[in-house]
Amino acid sequence: MSTILIIADHRDGQLSTATRKTVRCAADFDADAIDILVLAEDGAEVAAQAARLSGVRRVRYVNHPTHAHPMAATAAPQIVAAVKAGDYSHVLGSNSSFGKDVMPRVAALLGVAMVTDLMHVTGAYEFQRPTYAGNAVDTIVAPADRILVATARGASFEPAAEDGDAELEALSLDVELPTHTRFVSTDTHTSERPDLGTAPRVVTGGRGVGSEENFRVIYDFADHIGAAVGASRAAVDAGYVPNDMQVGQTGKIIAPELYICFGISGAIQHLAGIKDAGTIVAVNKDEDAPIFEIADYGLVGDLFEVIPALTRAIG
């Protein structure tokens, strides 16, 4: 019997797509019940969004001032208290920054190991996950006599449908919170463009773009086709773009319907981030670049000539 608690990811009052995908992952467990826990300063609105997700039994929300700026150190003890109070067998989070931060603490406080990046669920305690930068797939069998803590790989699941009507419950937890960690400030890169993690179209640039100024051609082309913008690690390390735009093993793992990359060679660490992309289009001036081995469409050419031509052709 599996009773699953999903830890909601949300920002600015909006439930994240990553959580919708985690709910879809949970459905594959053939669970007896799927509940969602929302930790927020005032979680009623996010909880109402979560309650619409298909297959969810109950959404529990905890209002607490510490959640105005979510911190793993204070969230984890509250999650553990909710897990124990609800007698859950599984605790799932998404593989977002917050999920990757908080879920190991939850596992540690529960005294169990955790499984990261579930990409395929084959039983209540049997899963597949990528390893070696996505070049191999592990099958994991977890012990059924312990609470299972895991994160779901967003790129592997569709978002849950929104035709549900789960029960809402305000939860009050009596937990002593650690005082060794406090919120200081947030420094985020804001963008009007679609979100890189969830956009159906993504355009990226690599070291071949050459400079921060040159990256303008990548932004303009992305805006022309309504795409999110990403980059290789070499482009990030060279300072062309901020590091939250990095795609790959140590960046964002994405699964857009269309992925177009310019001046990216196709190192395995980059490919680890785009394995689940639908159609991959690569433009590179080196016909031997490894990216062409995995591209559905490849164009050998100088990106500074190809992009204006593509823009004109698209109209």
Ligand X SMILES: Cc1cc2nc3c(=O)[nH]c(=O)nc-3n(C[C@H](O)[C@H](O)[C@H](O)COP(=O)(O)OP(=O)(O)OC[C@H]3O[C@@H](n4cnc5c(N)ncnc54)[C@H](O)[C@@H]3O)c2cc1C
Q: Which two tokens stand for residue 275?
A: 């394995």
Binding of residue 97 to ligand X (CB under 6 A) = no
Of 212, 257, 286, 296, the residue at the interface with ligand X (CB under 6 A) is 286
CA distances (Å), 65 to each of 36, 39, 43, 70, 180, in order? 20, 10, 11, 10, 16
263 is in an annotated binding site: yes
Strand order in the sheet with 258-262: 228-231, 201-205, 258-262, 279-284, 297-300
Stretch that binds ligand X, among 14-22, 65-73, 110-118, 284-292 (CB under 6 A): 284-292
Binding of residue 295 to ligand X (CB under 6 A) = no
Stretch that binds ligand X, among 61-69, 135-143, 217-225, 265-273 (CB under 6 A): 265-273
In contact, 5 and 83? CB cutoff 8 Å: yes
In contact, 232 and 262? CB cutoff 8 Å: no
Of 155, 277, 289, 310, the residue at the interface with ligand X (CB under 6 A) is 289
Residue recorded with tokens 């929302």: 38
Of 254, 264, 274, 282, the residue at the interface with ligand X (CB under 6 A) is 264
Residues 6+ apart with CB under 8 A from 284: 208, 262, 263, 264, 265, 266, 291, 292, 298, 299, 300, 303
Of 198, 263, 277, 281, the residue at the interface with ligand X (CB under 6 A) is 263
Residues 6+ apart with CB under 8 A from 125: 141, 142, 143, 144, 148
Q: Which helix (H) or strand (E) holds 217?
A: helix 216-225
Stretch that binds ligand X, among 78-86, 96-104, 182-190, 302-310 (CB under 6 A): 302-310
Binding of residue 95 to ligand X (CB under 6 A) = no
Binding of residue 214 to ligand X (CB under 6 A) = no
Binding of residue 230 to ligand X (CB under 6 A) = no
Binding of residue 207 to ligand X (CB under 6 A) = yes
Secondary structure letter of residue 176 according to DSSP:
P
Annotated binding-site residues read 207, 232-233, 246-250, 263-270, 284
Kindly list the residues in this chain that would bind ligand X in the complex (CB under 6 A): 206-208, 232-235, 246-251, 263-265, 267, 269-270, 273, 283-286, 289, 302-304
Q: Which residues belong to the annotated binding site for FAD?
A: 207, 232-233, 246-250, 263-270, 284
